[in-house]
Amino acid sequence: MTAGPAPTGLRKELSRRQVTMLGLGSALGTGLFLGAGTAIRTAGPAVIVSYAAGALIALTVAFGLAEMVSALPVRGTFGTIAARYLGPFAGYTVRWLYWIGVILAVGGEVVAAAIYLTYWWPQLPLAPVVAFFAVLVTAVNLAGVRSFGSVESVLSTVKVTAIVVFLVIGVVLVLFGLPGREASGVGNLTAHGGFFPHGGLAVWLVMAVVIFSFAGIELIAVSAPETEDAPRALRSAMRSMMVRLALFYLGALAVILSVTPWQQTRSGQTVASSPFVTMFSAAGIPAAAAVTNALVLVTALSSANANLYAGARMLHSLGGDGLAPASLSVTDSRGVPRRAALVSASGTALAAVGSGFLGSGVASFIMALAGMAVIATWIIILLTLLAFRRDPGRPASALRLRGGRAVPLLAVAALLSVLATGVRVPQMRTADILGIPALAVLSGVYYLRRHRPGTRRTVQGAAHGPHPRP
């Protein structure tokens, strides 16, 4: 298929390989490289069960998305489809929630990138470095979708290569050992208090960290309107991501917990707390912390870049459907929704200002809010899937999530239980406390817009218009 403008003004310039790397790279974030340390300290070796459950939930959402978007590769993706099958309020809410979540994630990631850079130059002031990275990722997004896809593919390849090297080193340490270090075997998985040293409850308590680690899988669906041969690309990307995510996340955790007693891992979001540092140090790799720091710096910039792309496309769809200013739906000569991208970059501006007042503490605050938005978005996506399947006239899908109604319903229940961890987990409690008022504000704005003259027709049209051609 030749590249060219879609009816939305977007251009179909992303290849199948780029889409695969986008989905894989966006799901391989700092949650694996840094957040795993906190999760391990809380749950011990049983954290493998937590990440296995998180992977199942994430893949349920991903395949449910692919089932709908391969049939309806429309602008606004799951938001537009939710409006059609759950009603205009659901379509409005999920798109704005997702947009808020991703712009907060962009802000959090550029703050994180700035913190990682100060590892080498501690004297650097945080706010100007945050601003520099914000301008950098914004410029990549304004350059065009082909350039964005190329840059993100390179960054994702760096992450994937690093994890493969990590796994190879880990397997050697477990099975064969290295000069001066005997093979560890797998005894550490049960030798220090058992596989569940803190009981089964701990497996549930770390789920908030785990779910946020997998955030970004929806990027494949968001990119569908700009993908060549979208149904085939979605099918290929989802199947590849399913295998690789299971291998990378569960394989990395199994290796870490086999080589190192779980009590020796550290909690926190610093490079020193990363299990990767522990692993590279055990292998005798020089400057293990510096190598890991470079890796998480690339990871943070990749996530910020991808999230800004997703936020711009979602805001572009809101403008096109009359749920945001119409000027946000305008694209330039290269098919880039420039205004939507610049407005979405506001998350980086807020992060720069916040870091000036709160320093590095602003990152954890932003990520808590983003985590709430991700969970709420996933729940609405799964409810949309159930409604989509009840439509006998729906277009054919290139993929189908197996398991009937039971699988998405179980995933919804699991996500609701993650929200409920707020009773015990401070970070999730912050997300719950701030997320509920945010939903109330969104509802109020929707009510006011819906009752403005000329708005009601636009909103209903977005929800109930004819099925677009794939």
Sequence ranges of the domains in the chain: 16-463
pLDDT reading at 383 higher than 90: yes
Cα separation, 419 vs 428, in Å, equals 7
What average pLDDT does range 176-199 have in this prediction? 87
pLDDT at 60: 92
Instruction: Compute the average pLDDT of residues 119-140.
Output: 86
pLDDT for residue 201 is more than 80? yes
pLDDT of residue 400: 87
Among 273-277, 375-379, 458-462, the minimum mean pLDDT is found in 458-462
Q: What pLDDT does 322 receive?
A: 83
The pLDDT of residue 459 = 43
Mean pLDDT score across all residues of the chain? 81
Task: Name the residue with higher pLDDT: 206 or 265.
Answer: 206
- Buried b / exposed e over 80-94, threshold 16 CB at 10 Å, is bbbbbbbbbbbbbbb
Neighbours of 270 (CB within 10 A): 18
Residue 365 pLDDT grade (very low, low, confident, very high; cuts 50, 70, 90): low
Tokens standing for residue 389? 């399947």
Residue range 165-172: mean pLDDT, rounded: 87
Using the 8-state DSSP alphabet, how is residue 181 labeled?
Answer: B
Report the percentage of the chain scoring pLDDT > 90: 16
Structure confidence at residue 246 as a pLDDT band (50, 70, 90): confident
More confident residue, 358 or 446: 446
The highest-confidence range among 30-39, 112-121, 151-160, by mean pLDDT, is: 151-160
Q: Pick from 409, 38, 28, 381: which is nearest to 208 by CA? A: 38
Whether 113 shows a pLDDT value over 80: the answer reads yes
Are 138 and 288 in contact, with CB atoms under 8 Å apart? Answer: no
Residue 338 class from Cβ within 10 Å (0-12 exposed, 13-18 middle, 19+ buried)? middle
Percentage of the chain surpassing pLDDT 70? 86
**Mean pLDDT, range 213-236, rounded to an integer:** 80
Structure tokens that stand for 90 in this block: 């659901």
pLDDT over 50 at 72, yes or no? yes
- Top pLDDT among 280 and 319 is at 319
Mapped onto helix, strand or coil, the DSSP state of residue 403 is coil
What average pLDDT does range 207-215 have in this prediction? 82
Q: Environment class of residue 276 by beta-carbon count within 10 Å: exposed (0-12), middle (13-18) or buried (19+)?
A: buried
What pLDDT score does 460 carry? 43
CB 443 within 8 A of CB 88: no
Mean pLDDT of 426-433: 76
Section 313-323 average pLDDT: 88
Whether the per-residue pLDDT at 470 is higher than 50: the answer is: no
Mean pLDDT across the stretch 117-142?
86
User: Region 4-20: what's the mean pLDDT?
Assistant: 71
Residue 322 φ then ψ, to 5°? 75, 15
Please say if the pLDDT value at position 46 is more than 90.
Answer: yes
Instruction: Please give the pLDDT value at position 35.
Output: 67
Taking residues 88-99, report their average pLDDT. Answer: 89
Mean pLDDT in residue range 357-381:
72
Confidence of residue 382 (pLDDT cuts 50, 70, 90): very high
**Average pLDDT, stretch 53-65?**
90
Confidence of residue 277 (pLDDT cuts 50, 70, 90): confident
Helices 288-320 and 126-142, packing angle to 10 deg: 50
| pLDDT at 363 > cutoff 60 | no
Selected residue with higher pLDDT from 147 and 32: 147
Residue 16 — pLDDT band, cuts 50, 70, 90?
A: confident
**Cα–Cα distance for residue pair 367/216, rounded to 1 Å:** 13
Residues 260-270 pLDDT 10s? 888 877 665 56
CATH architecture for the domain at 16-463: Up-down Bundle (1.20)
- Output the pLDDT for position 419: 86
Question: Are the C-beta atoms of 43 and 206 separated by less than 8 Å?
Answer: yes
Q: State residue 457's pLDDT score.
A: 43
CB under 8 Å to 240, separation ≥6 — which residues?
20, 24
- Predicted local confidence at residue 411, as pLDDT: 95
Looking at residue 263, what is its pLDDT? 84
Residue at 61: amino acid letter: V
> By CB neighbour count within 10 A (0-12 exposed, 13-18 middle, 19+ buried), where does 201 fall?
exposed
Amino acid identity of residue 331, one-letter, is T
Res. 376: pLDDT tops 50: yes
DSSP state of 178: B
Query: What was the pLDDT predicted at 386?
Result: 95
Q: What is the pLDDT of residue 278?
A: 72
Query: How high is the pLDDT of residue 297?
Result: 86
Question: Rounded mean pLDDT of 245-268?
Answer: 82
Alpha-carbon distance of 90 to 215, in angstroms, equals 20
CB atoms closer than 10 angstroms to residue 135: 14
Q: Which pLDDT tens digit goes with each residue over 227-240? A: 887 777 777 777 77
Predicted local confidence at residue 463, as pLDDT = 45
